[in-house]
Structure 1
Amino acid sequence: MNKTTTSSNYLTWLISIRQALTHKTALSYGLPLILLIVLHKPIEEVTSLLIVTPVLSKVASTDIDNIIFWLIAVYLLLLFLSRIISFVPSAKAFLIQVIISLIYLYYRHYQDVWILHPLKGHQDIYYTDIIIEIAFLNAILLIRQLFAKKPLIAGKGFDDDSSLGKQKPDLLGYEPYVQSLATRVEQSRPEKAIAIGINGRWGSGKTSFFDLLKRKMVTSPIIVIDFNPWNSLSPNAIIKDFFDTVQRATRPYHSQLPKLLDTYTDKLISLHSEGWGKFAKELKSVILPEQSLNDLYDQINKEIKAIDRKIIIYIDDLDRLDKEEIAEVIRLIRNTASFSNTFFIVAYDRDYVLTAIKAMNAFNHNHFLEKIFQIEVNLPYFDPAIIQRKLADLLKAYYSEDYHENIEKEIVGTPSAYPNYFEGWIETLRDVTRLSNGIKLNLDMLLTEVVFSEFVRLEILRLKYPSVYEAFYRRSGTFLHISDKHNGTDGYQLKTISDKRGEPFYLTNEHSEFELFVQQNASRLSVEQHEIAPIIDLIDGLFGVSMLTARFRSHLSVVHPSRFELYFSYSVLEGKLSEAEFLKAIESDFPQLKTQIDEWNREKLNFEVLRRFLQIKTFKNRKRFETTVEGIFYFARQPDNDAQYGFENRQLADLLSDDKKRISKQFYDGKSDEYATFLRRLLDGATSPYSFDSTFLEHLNKSSDDSFPIHKQERLKIVQKLFYDYTQNFKAWDYNLWHLYHACSYKEWTPTGGSVYRSDTIYPVEANQIMIATITKHIDAFLPVIIDFPPFVNDHMYISGIIKTIFGSYEAFGDFLNNLDTSSSVAVKEFDEFYRQLATQNFEKAVPFEFTVIKVVNRGQVN
């Protein structure tokens, strides 16, 4: 350690002692204590005269006084217990109590000056011992307060906007610049104050720049003064508060300077006084002549030189003040406080200050600051990567680790993808803090419900332009339309302008209704003209026609009408499916998923659940796979009118396909039979009216792809069984019976050359036999449904062509009718007559016929 450093440390140590001895607290408590020790005899006499003799000496050791003592003691104890949970005791009050207690104990045990009375029957306890109880209980409260303080968990609350202080690292890269400035300040010894302006936008780190500068000059012989003019209530208060602050800072270095500064302050304030205040000052100056303002200034300047220390005055947030207050601070810097060896380092937003100066004096206002500040430091713009890294770190400290990868990718980016939507929006650490707090507050209930990057974009808009954000949501029907309808993946896109309304604003036909609205209402929305384009780009990045269409976006995307409201409500709305609830359900076991599906059905969320099931493409493990598939089958079998809710057959077939043993290798150790057994168990659980299962099996049986683990012949038997089971519980010849019959059909694919195939639809003999048996049992219900009318004709009829599919030909159907026992069926006899008339036309033409027994309804063709 060199001599210079040792000398500097020695001076710093001496100054610290001087400051401690002249501190307000030391003077407030130390001097009275010294006086008490020195003048204890007179104080004893006064205390005896005022307290002991007229009050304490009157206390007698009686039962009544004992009761009063214990009541007071219990009251104090109860008061203590009521404060033990959440109460902050006064350390200053406790210090006074300790001093009083020590004095009391001294006189109680070592002096007989005062006569104190013990409790009746308790010679060791005095009535005045209440003083000790008060101090003891408050000591417990204070100790508890000191040890009960728990540090906040980093990142779990709101992020503050604090500067670097003494410890935080310099993330912005200001340190080399600060070092250069500090060196020049240390090497300067001006006759008049030097003013250094630190210009930067709000939130750009001006206070942190101050903190770094203080760190660099911590060992220099300087007096550091922090003055915050925005705490003052008026221009006059700024003057007084400023010189009061300077007085406190210089008191350890000079005995007369504080008094001079006080007089100087009164002089300055009197210049601004009006009315009686000004008159009184002038009258006083006539009666008692005072030094002139200039004389006081010169004397103060002389004494400051004598201190031989640089005075560095930091004035932060000049841009928080109004125009009169800004003018007063500038006057202090330029004239009234422009002392020798003094440096004013002032932080402000230059544009704001110039606007305030212009409001007071428009002449040459752009160059006004050049007269005030000898040097102006323009804070450099931040590296966007630093800003994004800071935001990511704040969010990662708040959210659990399983969300960190998403935050890193969407905020910082990856080597192959960079999130450029931050550019021009988040430029300062204050922006980072505000955005971080907004995300933490608004995303908490939607963490698994939204696309993180899309939510952040909208949160940026809300942060910067809340009026635009609200208008976009409230008028979404005006700005957006639904496009790209595909398997339930319809999505919102910006409406484009197709007329000439945009021409006054130089819009083209490709521009949107939203852009036109912002252009027309920019002033009302508090948007400057140059800010419109970034706003439009931000929204276009979400809803623009050039973006990926809805079916390629995440199922949680804001473009989906079912998710749109969530991004603006900050909670899952009633009538909307919760993504977190859905994921929890499919990650549980099937009984729990089944219960949840029942609950969703009661809440009328069928379409939302269907849409969400359709979006599942991959699975974590076998349990998740089987639970989800069971859930799909259970959901699709739920009743919907006279059928079942159903599912999208092609997508379900793709999901369950075992092409190249995709599923069996992944979840069943390559055992296709084990996978097929699982699917058989599922199909065995089919419930009436079997519409979902039969439709799905029909899709499989008519597909040219046969990668389903259960082969076609077995699938045909399953669907035929469903058809047979339904006919055994026959109630009416309904649509579903026809549907089940057709579901029994399948296709045979025959190559015709190249990659072209011909398909032939075949109805198995077994299905026809089931249908014929059902017709035989319910002939009277069957006949009305096969009587058809030609289009737009009501008086001619014929027999439906489905008869040829079931029986092979109309003639075979006739033979079937002839072999029926028609003795009890009048309807068959009437139909037989109609059949014979059609036979005369070879069943090719409709014939007129008047049914009297059979009730015929023109319902269209049965097929």
Structure 2
Amino acid sequence: MKKINHVLNFLSQKSIIAFFFLVCCAILLHQPFEDLASKILVQPLFSKIEKRTINDVVFGLIALASLLMLRKHKQYVASGPLATSSALAVALYLCYRLFSERWSFTHYSVASNLAYADTFLAYPAVYMGLWFRSRYNRRTLTLGSVHLATDEPIRTADSDALGYQDYAATVATYINKSSFNHSFAIGVNGAWGSGKTSFINLIKERIDSDDTILIDFSSWNSTTPNAVVTDFFDTVQEAIAPYYSSLAQLLRSYSEKLISINDSDITKSIKSTITLVAGESSIKELYKQINKALSKINKRIVIFIDDLDRSDKSEILEVIRLIRNNADFYNTFFVVAYDRNYVLEALSQQNIHNHTKFLEKIFQLEINLPYYKAERLLLHLESQLAKLFPNHYDSVIKPAIKSDSYRSNTAAIHHLENIREVTRFSNSLSLNLSKLLNEVDIVDFMNIEIIRMKYPVIYELLFKKSHIFLSTKDTYVQYSKARYKLATEEKTGKYLIENYIIDNPNLSINKNDITQIIKLLSDIFTDSYINSYSSSVLSIAFPSNFRKYSTYALLEDNLSEVAFSRARASEQHVFNQSIEEWCAKGLSWEIRQRFLDIHQFDDREDFEKIITTIFNFANTPYPEHLSQVFGTLNGYDKDDLRNKISDHENRISNKYYSKDKVAYQEFIRNLFLSAKHPFRFESDFIESINSYFSDGFPLATEESHSIALGYFNQHCNVSESLTRDTWELYHNCKYKSWSRHGSTIHEEGRKTIEGSRSIFIEFIKTKVYTDFIRDITNKEHRSMDEKYTVSDIVTDIFGSWNDFKPLVHNNKDLNSFTSLFSDFYDKFVENNYKPIAYDFQGHKDS
């Protein structure tokens, strides 16, 4: 039965009917056609063309021009109907040219078998060639890895991502089992993007096609109420024509009568009123004839009207009139999809009294699309993104989407309301995230894209007026840098952007959405210390990353995550060189954050490379324009480095050194012993080791003490002046002593590594006595008079004030200041080591 219906539908096409009509005319009316052609074309025109060389050239050029069209339009897709007409014209010409003696044809002077008229075969022949090539030699476009998801509705139960198929099957079963003398209207109510078209398609799939004529009518294609009526009945008659020959004319007459009534209703003239009365009887008669014909067909007619809410209010009212009155035909079902709120609003604007009840009268059954859980949307989102990012989904995107963190759940579930939004969101990520994979925090990027997609005016405010709505106040933590948080009013503590939205209704933000927007923004730009410190280095909350979330590209002042990973995988010297180049560009903070984020290592080589590079990075100087703010060296977080190299419970030596603790100790030892003067970072770091209670440092306490002492000794040997490095290296020869009492650890105090004092005293005596006494002589700022005191560092170095006195009186640096200091020191001692007024005669600072 289906095959017969298919053949009938094919034969009823207008193009097929026209083709057979032309063939019949050519056969039956060939004689009058020949006479007409002879009278109009052959005798007055073609018979005058003589066989001449110049004519050969002209017709040859015509043929050549036609052939060149093939090359010029090689990508041209020829029309099927025109190709068919060309084939008919060529066949007709060849019949007369080869088999008829009605006309004699003038031939080329240089080719006796080729007639001038044959030249005109070139164009239709070329056109037919183009058609054959476009049909049988099509190029298939190859889709790349980056493409977009389509918003195609579900067409079969196999692709049902919403779980609608069971409910749709139930509706289809009721339609299959029902028959009525009049029409029956089913409304499918759902918000924009909720899957109404998909639900209708699933109903179609389950309807018994042998007993049913399925008709699709798109009312939103009609631009006026009259066009709605015309287009509706044209669609219906085209679908029913194969089953009842005269029904098409009945429907056409019926629709014309309806349109004439609508016209008379507008003009409201007396004449039109008379026409209306006269037409009423005729319409009723046509209506009866149509119903009688439909009952003879004995088939159920199901008319699907999708997206009614896409039509204008006047067209919506006209469709409802059709359903309720004008198309209330025998055994006809209407399945209409719409957003109920939109349709009710349209009816109210048309001054329909009690429009809610009015709509209930139209649809004997109204279906509210079944609720689907947010998890279904999340699953669909996963499926879409897996297709759009086949090479990065598992490693980059899936962890963010599958995360149990509140931030990702906020973006993925609570803000995507339907399948259409999931598709739009997927396409947005496909387009905007493709160049920033591994360069942004995926959760942050998704949250920002949600804002851009659903609340574009907020997105624009956020990026254009970030200086107003975002703040970095009180967000700085050690070895990190400031991050954005939502700016607040000082008095109320309310977010400035929230107040701005409330105070500006022209932004057209629904009040119910404001809470969602603020929640989403506060998750991104949190002011929580814990969350801010643990956030990804790629987070939008860091000002250096902010702009790339709106430009969708890596900026010059960003460190590429891909570039860092590539450098990490290269040889040690290449990694070091990359670090130096990035530091010179002012990317020290980004580099530090990358190292802080590393908690796992591939193998021993990777571990040693990272630790070695951290030491190199810490010793790399800041660019000159930044050194006054951040210090001369990059430095590094000592706590993090100490944790990275800790061998507590042999975790490093067992994992990366095959339980060879000696090999691991040798690696750590070489890091410290290969340090270069003035050993700033290494000395600071070994001091933190010596001051921290832990059994995880690979080297013994005695050896870590020896390293610190060795740095100070080397410095005193090569240095000829007392510098800041001298003081820091001496202070780094301190350590904390600990004792254990049961399970309790007690700090016994800060002590000095044995030998460091004697090294310093010898250095002072032989090289820097004058510089030393200048450094320890300090002006007393709390006194109104110009009093001076001696720093108690003297007692730390020499043991006591008296032990320092011999050096004061027996030093080898004889100059004006040392002489004055000797006198000053005696008086200082006499004053019981309290500040005294003294005139150094300007020699102290000279």
Structure 1 residue 247 corresponds to structure 2 residue 237: yes
Structure 1 residue 258 corresponds to structure 2 residue 240: no
Map 1:538-617 → 2, pairs under 5 A: 538-539=520-521, 541-542=523-524, 549-560=531-542, 562-563=544-545, 566-617=548-599
Aligned partner of 2:456 in structure 1 is 466
Aligned partner of 1:671 in structure 2 is 660
Structure 1 residue 24 corresponds to structure 2 residue 14: yes
| Match of residue 96, structure 1, among 71, 85, 103 | 85
Alpha-carbon distance in structure 2 between the residues aligned to 1:528 and 1:512: 18
Aligned partner of 1:5 in structure 2 is none
Structure 1 residue 228 corresponds to structure 2 residue 218: yes
Alpha-carbon distance in structure 2 between the residues aligned to 1:723 and 1:67: 103
| Match of residue 738, structure 1, among 717, 727, 733 | 727
Alpha-carbon distance in structure 2 between the residues aligned to 1:297 and 1:233: 25
The alpha carbon displacement at 1:234 in A equals 0.8
Percent identity of paired positions between Structure 1 and Structure 2: 32
Alpha-carbon distance in structure 2 between the residues aligned to 1:280 and 1:128: 65
Aligned partner of 1:504 in structure 2 is none
| Match of residue 420, structure 2, among 415, 430, 448 | 430
With 441-450 and 419-428 compared, the bigger mean Cα shift is at: 419-428
Alpha-carbon distance in structure 2 between the residues aligned to 1:846 and 1:547: 45
| Match of residue 200, structure 1, among 177, 190, 208 | 190
Aligned partner of 2:200 in structure 1 is 210
The alpha carbon displacement at 1:758 in A equals 0.6
Would the alpha carbon gap of residues 274 and 335 (structure 1) be closer, same or farther in structure 2, given more than 3 Å must change?
closer
Give the 3-state SS of the residue equivalent to 2:150 in structure 1: coil
Aligned 8 A contact 2:264 2:272 in 1: no
1:216 maps to a residue whose letter is R
Aligned partner of 2:693 in structure 1 is 704
Aligned 8 A contact 1:312 1:344 in 2: yes
Give the 3-state SS of the residue equivalent to 1:361 in structure 2: coil
Would the alpha carbon gap of residues 849 and 457 (structure 1) be closer, same or farther in structure 2, given more than 3 Å must change?
closer
Map 1:17-416 → 2, pairs under 5 A: 17-44=7-34, 46-47=36-37, 75-76=65-66, 78-84=68-74, 86-106=75-95, 113-115=103-105, 117-118=107-108, 120=110, 128-129=118-119, 131-132=121-122, 135-136=125-126, 139-140=129-130, 142-144=132-134, 147-150=137-140, 153=143, 156-165=146-155, 168-273=158-263, 292-361=282-351, 363-404=353-394, 407-408=397-398, 411=401
With 539-548 and 141-150 compared, the bigger mean Cα shift is at: 539-548
With 395-404 and 476-485 compared, the bigger mean Cα shift is at: 476-485
Alpha-carbon distance in structure 2 between the residues aligned to 1:838 and 1:480: 53
1:98-134 alpha-carbon deviations (Å, 9 max, x no partner): 3334444555555564425347379679783563476
Would the alpha carbon gap of residues 828 and 105 (structure 1) be closer, same or farther in structure 2, given more than 3 Å must change?
farther
Aligned partner of 2:601 in structure 1 is 619
Would the alpha carbon gap of residues 60 and 729 (structure 1) be closer, same or farther in structure 2, given more than 3 Å must change?
farther
Would the alpha carbon gap of residues 50 and 848 (structure 1) be closer, same or farther in structure 2, given more than 3 Å must change?
same
Would the alpha carbon gap of residues 193 and 736 (structure 1) be closer, same or farther in structure 2, given more than 3 Å must change?
same
Would the alpha carbon gap of residues 415 and 689 (structure 1) be closer, same or farther in structure 2, given more than 3 Å must change?
closer
1:42-63 alpha-carbon deviations (Å, 9 max, x no partner): 5455555555666666667766
Alpha-carbon distance in structure 2 between the residues aligned to 1:222 and 1:307: 10
| Match of residue 487, structure 1, among 455, 458, 478 | 478
2:694 maps to a residue whose letter is D
Aligned 8 A contact 1:491 1:549 in 2: no
Give the 3-state SS of the residue equivalent to 1:312 in structure 2: strand
Would the alpha carbon gap of residues 259 and 691 (structure 1) be closer, same or farther in structure 2, given more than 3 Å must change?
same
1:227 maps to a residue whose letter is F
The alpha carbon displacement at 1:228 in A equals 0.8
1:607 maps to a residue whose letter is W
1:301 maps to a residue whose letter is N
Aligned partner of 2:611 in structure 1 is 629
The alpha carbon displacement at 1:541 in A equals 5.0
Aligned 8 A contact 2:619 2:634 in 1: yes
Structure 1 residue 786 corresponds to structure 2 residue 768: no
Aligned partner of 1:797 in structure 2 is 788
Give the 3-state SS of the residue equivalent to 1:273 in structure 2: helix
1:506-528 alpha-carbon deviations (Å, 9 max, x no partner): xxx8x76665555555x444344
The alpha carbon displacement at 1:257 in A equals 2.2
Alpha-carbon distance in structure 2 between the residues aligned to 1:498 and 1:562: 26
The alpha carbon displacement at 1:306 in A equals 2.9
Aligned 8 A contact 1:691 1:736 in 2: yes
The alpha carbon displacement at 1:414 in A equals 7.6
Alpha-carbon distance in structure 2 between the residues aligned to 1:763 and 1:172: 73
Aligned partner of 2:638 in structure 1 is 649
1:520-577 alpha-carbon deviations (Å, 9 max, x no partner): 55x4443444445544554555566789632344444455555555555544445344
Aligned partner of 1:861 in structure 2 is none
1:672 maps to a residue whose letter is K
Give the 3-state SS of the residue equivalent to 1:392 in structure 2: helix
Alpha-carbon distance in structure 1 between the residues aligned to 2:737 and 2:458: 60
With 387-396 and 178-187 compared, the bigger mean Cα shift is at: 178-187
Alpha-carbon distance in structure 1 between the residues aligned to 2:819 and 2:273: 134
Unaligned runs of 5+ in 1: 1-8, 502-508, 858-863
Alpha-carbon distance in structure 1 between the residues aligned to 2:68 and 2:716: 82
Alpha-carbon distance in structure 1 between the residues aligned to 2:741 and 2:157: 81
Would the alpha carbon gap of residues 743 and 342 (structure 1) be closer, same or farther in structure 2, given more than 3 Å must change?
same
With 53-62 and 369-378 compared, the bigger mean Cα shift is at: 53-62
The alpha carbon displacement at 1:344 in A equals 1.7
Give the 3-state SS of the residue equivalent to 2:434 in structure 1: helix
The alpha carbon displacement at 1:358 in A equals 1.7
Structure 1 residue 694 corresponds to structure 2 residue 716: no
Aligned partner of 2:746 in structure 1 is 756
Aligned 8 A contact 1:225 1:246 in 2: yes
Would the alpha carbon gap of residues 145 and 814 (structure 1) be closer, same or farther in structure 2, given more than 3 Å must change?
farther
1:464-512 alpha-carbon deviations (Å, 9 max, x no partner): 333445456646854767567543566656677886x6xxxxxxx8x76
1:803-842 alpha-carbon deviations (Å, 9 max, x no partner): 444455555555456665557x555455444455546557
The alpha carbon displacement at 1:433 in A equals 1.8
The alpha carbon displacement at 1:445 in A equals 3.4
Give the 3-state SS of the residue equivalent to 2:435 in structure 1: helix
Aligned 8 A contact 1:410 1:453 in 2: yes
Aligned 8 A contact 1:636 1:646 in 2: yes
1:699-756 alpha-carbon deviations (Å, 9 max, x no partner): 2233332533344444455445544555576586432332233234444445578421
With 273-282 and 807-816 compared, the bigger mean Cα shift is at: 273-282
The alpha carbon displacement at 1:430 in A equals 1.9
**C-alpha root-mean-square deviation of aligned residues, in Å?**
4.2
Aligned 8 A contact 2:483 2:532 in 1: yes
Counting matched residue pairs gives: 833
1:28 maps to a residue whose letter is A
Alpha-carbon distance in structure 1 between the residues aligned to 2:24 and 2:267: 40
Aligned 8 A contact 2:683 2:729 in 1: yes
The alpha carbon displacement at 1:145 in A equals 6.2
2:679 maps to a residue whose letter is Y
Alpha-carbon distance in structure 1 between the residues aligned to 2:271 and 2:236: 24
The alpha carbon displacement at 1:238 in A equals 0.9
The alpha carbon displacement at 1:153 in A equals 4.3
Aligned 8 A contact 2:487 2:496 in 1: yes
